[in-house]
Amino acid sequence: MHLVWLPKYRKPVLTGEVAVRVRDLIRQIAAEPKLEIISGKVARDHVHVFVGYRPNQDVSQIMQWLKGISSRVLLHLRKRFWGRHFWARGYLAVSSGNITEMVKEYIEEQEGEQIIDDSRFPIDSL
């Protein structure tokens, strides 16, 4: 499942240490319900994650975990920028079916240069 979500008002705040923290949080959160992160990228104004999940898990529940827990941990940013909410409402979820390699290539081709060489979940420098 290819998941995409963004900070409120699509503000470009996912840079530097914040981007690294968001990436690490997503990895930690995904480990708990045994989600497999196949690929991902933290851009300055959105997050792409390509995950594998069990059939008994709902996509809405997965997004609730990813956005909800990360928002609570990033409380200092939430207060500084938007009051009670860090992430925008909604998300994009696209089932990959048999095009797993195409989705991985699409995520890798998203704009920006990688600042950390981590092929499973790079971070853009822009």
CATH number of 2-108: 3.30.70.1290
Strands (E), 15-96: 36-42, 47-52, 92-94
Please tell me the least confidently modeled range out of 4-8, 31-35, 90-94, 115-119.
115-119
| C-alpha neighbours within 13 Å on the C-beta side of residue 108 | 12
Token pair recorded at residue 88? 């925008």
Report which of residues 117 and 103 the model is more confident about: 103
Look up the pTM and report it: 0.77
What residues are annotated to the active site? 106
> How many whole angstroms separate alpha carbon 124 and alpha carbon 20?
10
Q: Beginning with the edge strand found earlier in the chain, give each strand of the sheet holding 2-5 in spatial order.
A: 36-42, 47-52, 2-5, 92-94
Token pair recorded at residue 90? 């909604």
What was the pLDDT predicted at 75? Answer: 75
Amino acid at 116: I
Token pair 């530097």 is found at 16
Residue 24: CB atoms within 10 Å: 14
What was the pLDDT predicted at 115? Answer: 45
Token pair recorded at residue 71? 């928002």
